């Protein structure tokens, strides 16, 4: 069947193209994408020439939509045509050493996998993080498809697939922030604001938003930040991942404090750490890989919190736009004028 999607064909060469998609095979699902958030990782994929994904790449990984077809020979079908779903790029493989020792949240499966999507000239496309959502349709493994209540609008539901799961689960799963803890967040884009919301859900007593952009600090206050300047805290979430922000994070923790690295650093980024200081602080350093989220466990509860009004997804959608506006959406993210643009193919 013919669909269209945004393809990184060669380094620096991105365009909306016609794509052929083969019918889903065993263990696969065809999803009609109704909404897809434009995330920093998509920019990262473009700027890092595929970021480990073999080119050509179908961009997008934060998607929600409707099941159109399920692979025939799939014996464990829990999905049906018409189900509202969110795509999960972190579905655990169940086979790697980390999964086998019972820690699927830290599954070590590589992010790229061959798909059923082809360019007009026959090149096989690699969908970003096995999802590829900047498209009218995509084919994904059954494990990557999570049903959510249809009452949640797709333009909100899609955010659960990356930014919200990453931010909220960094707090609740990676760091396990306790009630009454003091928390700081460096970088207040969609993920940072989700950290703020996660800290609020965890019952943090203090939530400090740190960002160079005063517009983002104002937004952070609306999502639950209590302060907009740095101060000593128990947990710091570095959503930026640059040497300056990580050094700042190390400087903010109190004794026994935890620094959580969430942001994707540019290739080769390094930071100098004063080890005696780290030792004296009894510091913990954690890496949050997308909040170590497990789609099948976390998406339904995040969706439920959104429906109950505990998690504000609606305010995170600054604007919606057609798929054709992908380029403006990436620009708007770069200049910080939006929390999220959601494309509605």
What residue ranges bind Zn ion (CB under 5 A)? 39, 41, 92-93, 96, 99, 107, 109, 162
Taking the least distance from each CB to Zn ion, the nearer of 67 and 92 is 92
* 99 vs 112, beta carbon nearer Zn ion: 99
Question: Rounded distance, CA 194 to CA 210, Å?
Answer: 14
Q: How far is the CB of 62 from Zn ion (least distance, A)?
A: 5
Q: Supply the minimum distance, in Å, between the C-beta of residue 226 and Zn ion.
A: 27
Nearer to Zn ion, 9 or 93 (CB): 93
Backbone angles phi, psi at 307, to 5 degrees: -65, -30
CA 91 to chain centre: 12
CB atoms within 10 A of CB 237: 34
Minimum CB distance to Zn ion, residue 278 (Å): 30
Contact of 87 with 133, CB cutoff 8 Å: yes
Question: Any alpha helices (H) in the chain, and if so which ranges?
Answer: 40-47, 97-100, 154-159, 165-169, 190-202, 214-223, 243-252, 275-281, 295-307, 326-334
Q: How far apart, in whole angstroms, are the C-alpha atoms of residue 129 and residue 121?
A: 23
In the bound complex, what is the minimum distance in angstroms from residue 120's beta carbon to Zn ion? 28
Asked if the peptide bond before residue 56 counts as cis, ω within 30 degrees of 0, the response is: yes
Cβ proximity to Zn ion: between 254 and 319 the closer is: 319
Is the Cβ–Cβ distance between 341 and 320 less than 8 Å? yes
Residue nearer to Zn ion on the CB measure, 4 or 93: 93
CA 247 – CA 149 distance, rounded (Å): 41
In the complex, the smallest distance separating the C-beta of residue 102 from Zn ion, rounded to whole angstroms, is 11
Q: How far apart are CB 275 and Zn ion at their closest, in Å?
A: 32
Closer of 166 and 245 to Zn ion (Cβ): 166
């Amino acid at each position: 069947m013919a669909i269209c999607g945004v393809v990184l064909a060669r380094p620096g060469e991105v365009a909306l193209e016609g794509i052929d998609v083969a019918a889903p095979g065993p263990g696969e699902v065809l999803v009609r994408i109704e909404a897809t958030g434009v995330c920093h990782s998509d920019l990262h994929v473009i700027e890092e020439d595929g970021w480990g994904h073999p080119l050509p790449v179908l961009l997008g990984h934060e998607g929600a939509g409707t099941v159109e077809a399920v692979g025939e020979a799939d014996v464990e079908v829990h999905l049906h045509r018409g189900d509202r779903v969110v795509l999960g790029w972190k579905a655990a493989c169940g086979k790697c050493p980390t999964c086998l020792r019972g820690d699927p949240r830290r599954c070590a499966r590589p992010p790229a996998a061959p798909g059923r999507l082809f360019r007009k000239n026959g090149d096989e496309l690699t969908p970003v993080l096995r999802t590829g959502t900047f498209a009218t349709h995509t084919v994904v493994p059954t494990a990557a498809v999570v049903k959510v209540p249809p009452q949640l609008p797709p333009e909100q539901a899609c955010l659960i697939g990356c930014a919200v799961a990453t931010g909220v689960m960094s707090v609740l799963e990676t760091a396990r922030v306790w009630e009454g803890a003091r928390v700081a967040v460096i970088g207040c884009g969609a993920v940072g604001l989700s950290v703020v919301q996660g800290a609020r859900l965890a019952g943090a007593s203090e939530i400090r938003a740190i960002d160079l952009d005063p517009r983002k600090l104002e937004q952070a206050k609306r999502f639950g930040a209590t302060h907009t300047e740095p101060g000593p805290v128990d947990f710091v979430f570095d959503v930026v991942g640059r040497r300056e922000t990580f050094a700042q994070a190390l400087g903010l923790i109190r004794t026994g404090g935890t620094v959580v690295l969430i942001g994707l650093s540019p290739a080769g980024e390094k930071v100098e750490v004063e080890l005696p200081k780290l030792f004296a602080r009894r510091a913990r350093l954690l890496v949050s890989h997308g909040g170590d989220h497990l789609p099948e466990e976390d998406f339904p509860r995040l969706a439920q919190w959104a429906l109950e009004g505990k998690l504000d997804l609606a305010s995170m959608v600054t604007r919606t736009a057609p798929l054709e506006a992908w380029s403006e959406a990436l620009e708007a993210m770069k200049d910080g004028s939006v929390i999220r643009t959601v494309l509605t193919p």
